[in-house]
């Protein structure tokens, strides 16, 4: 499963008091422009922002995304309507 459409893979996620983090891996064949476009579209619709990018010698990109934690995501019950 991937939040980034195409060949990206979700490597893991974690959170702290204020932020949720998600780590993605993009394979070597994805261009910089394509990666930027995919991440921009993802950010627009899911609220993630870029935290860190590492480019490895083989062309693989490891990307950290973050977004503010929401109360429902923090484990609090939702309102019953």
Q: DSSP of 32-72, one letter per residue? A: HHHHHHHHHHHHHHH--EEEEEEE-TTS-EEEEEEEEPPTT
Q: Distances in Å between the alpha carbon of 65 and those of 16, 54, 59, 70, 76?
A: 13, 12, 19, 15, 23
User: 67 vs 8, which has greater pLDDT?
Assistant: 67
Q: What is the strand order of the sheet 61-68 is part of?
A: 9-15, 19-26, 61-68, 49-55
Say if residues 54 and 7 touch (Cβ distance below 8 Å): no
Sorted by where each begins, the domain ranges of the chain are: 9-68
* Listed range (1-10, 27-36, 72-81) with the worst mean pLDDT: 1-10
Residue range 58-69, pLDDT digits in tens: 999 999 999 888
Whether the pLDDT of residue 6 is over 50: the answer is no
As a whole number, the mean pLDDT across the chain is: 78
pTM score over 0.85: no
Whether the pLDDT of residue 1 is over 60: the answer is no
């Amino acid at each position: 499963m991937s939040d980034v459409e195409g060949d990206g893979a979700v490597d893991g996620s974690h959170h702290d008091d204020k932020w949720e983090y998600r780590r993605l891996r993009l394979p070597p064949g994805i261009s910089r422009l394509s990666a930027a476009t995919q991440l921009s579209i993802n950010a627009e619709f899911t609220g993630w922002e870029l935290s860190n990018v590492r480019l490895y010698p083989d062309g693989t990109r490891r990307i950290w995304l973050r977004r503010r934690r929401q109360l429902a995501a923090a484990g609090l019950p939702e309102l019953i309507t």
